[in-house]
Structure 1
Amino acid sequence: MTTESCILSSEAIQQDNIYGLSQITTSLFISNSAVANDKLTLSNNHITTIINASVEVANTFFDDIQYVHVPVSDAPNSYIYDFFDPIADYIHAVEVRNGRTLLHCVAGVSRSAAFCLAYLMKYHNMTLLDAHTWTKSCRPIIRPNSGFWEQLIHYEFKLFSKITVQMIYSPVGLIPNIYEKEVFFM
């Protein structure tokens, strides 16, 4: 991450509750669905926009927050590629207006992480590998499903004409090569 794109001090990264709210950039947070319904947490973190990337969770609407719903299932065959640009653009537009976005799915592990990685690639000029490394350092529980990884790899190639993560075969099926050590040393 370049200093121009996002400057975060260690105090700014909120990892106290890795299952709750995690700050990724100065204007982007990832969480589970429970946080999206917690008015106090939203207010304390100055959240102005919520992006709900799930089909299972209904929005709890608060008057001072804008909402976007991306109805996608957390399944390897779910097609999310066409949402990468519009969601990244939306997060960026909120940031330009000095707002803050909360991106959530059910657990804050797969769908919201995939959209976060796409945003970091597009607007912070990070490779997919770097975006994953950064996001995982802020929210250790992220783990997009294999279908989302394949689509993120295609998106990285579209943006940069190169790939930094590859899908490989493993005893548990097709996985990104960054998980290779985890699978083979289980």
Structure 2
Amino acid sequence: MQQSGPAGLSGLCRVTDHLYLSNGRAASDSSQVTRCNITCIVNVTETGSSCPPPPGVEEYIHIRVSDSPLSPLSVHFDEVADKIHLTAERGGRTLVHCNAGVSRSASVCMAYLMKHRGATLLEAHRWVKTCRPMVRPNNGFWKQLTQYEMELRGCNSVRMVTSSMGEIPDIYEEEARNMMPL
């Protein structure tokens, strides 16, 4: 698995040669979008941009989803993963963003890596977190990602477990224990 390093925490973070992840502010920076040769933008927020896409962006897709554990993000996993894949096959580059570039957009990128790059959910999370260290999908999106991994692979590399903070992915178990008062 080829991984790219951070492109500046406030900028566009390269996940693969054809996939970038960012927050809304960086996605609206036409100089960054142009410099990275982005041809497709996927906006995963409740409200869309009122600005036209920067020059060179041929497709702008808005997935209206709030950053709530109850939001049905998984209904968009296949659609967005396939769009990223198709854009790459055509030689284009996709930028996926949400408001902070932490939960919704990261979850969608992880779904793409599982479906089209053969990554397990655990590998996809590490891959995206390497590119953008602040990545942290909400627990509802984790639950949807574990279900998606089960559909794709027939097994799970990440499990949801009960903790004092509610249901969390097992990769956060130690962190949750360390947050408990002594």
Q: Please give the range of the TM-score, normalised by the shorter of the 2 chains.
A: over 0.9
Corresponding residue for residue 19 of structure 1:
10
Aligned length: 177
Task: Provide the TM-score with structure 1 as the length reference.
Answer: 0.91
Quickly say closer, same or farther: Cα 1:18–1:108, change in 2 above 3 A: same
Distance (Å, rounded) in 1 between the aligned partners of 2:153 and 2:64: 28
Contact 1:14 1:21 in 2 (8 A): no
Distance (Å, rounded) in 1 between the aligned partners of 2:176 and 2:163: 7
Task: Provide the TM-score with structure 2 as the length reference.
Answer: 0.93
Distance (Å, rounded) in 1 between the aligned partners of 2:178 and 2:50: 40
Q: Which range moves more in the overlay, 16-25 or 85-94?
A: 16-25
1:101-157 per-residue CA deviation (whole Å, 9 max, x = no partner) reads 100000000000000000000000000001001111111110000110111001000
Quickly say closer, same or farther: Cα 1:14–1:60, change in 2 above 3 A: farther
Contact 2:34 2:55 in 1 (8 A): no
Q: Which runs of 4+ in 1 moved over 6 A?
A: none
Distance (Å, rounded) in 2 between the aligned partners of 1:128 and 1:134: 10
Among 57, 64, 80, the residue aligned to 2:56 = 64
Unpaired stretches in structure 2, ≥5 consecutive residues: none
Quickly say closer, same or farther: Cα 1:33–1:60, change in 2 above 3 A: same
Corresponding residue for residue 4 of structure 1:
none
Matched, 1:49 2:40: yes
State the SS of the aligned residue for 1:156: helix
Unpaired stretches in structure 1, ≥5 consecutive residues: 2-6
Quickly say closer, same or farther: Cα 1:120–1:110, change in 2 above 3 A: same
Contact 2:6 2:130 in 1 (8 A): no
> 1:83-98, aligned counterparts within 5 Å?
83-98=76-91
> 1:110-149, aligned counterparts within 5 Å?
110-149=103-142
Counterpart of 1:107, as a letter, is A
Among 67, 70, 74, the residue aligned to 1:74 = 67
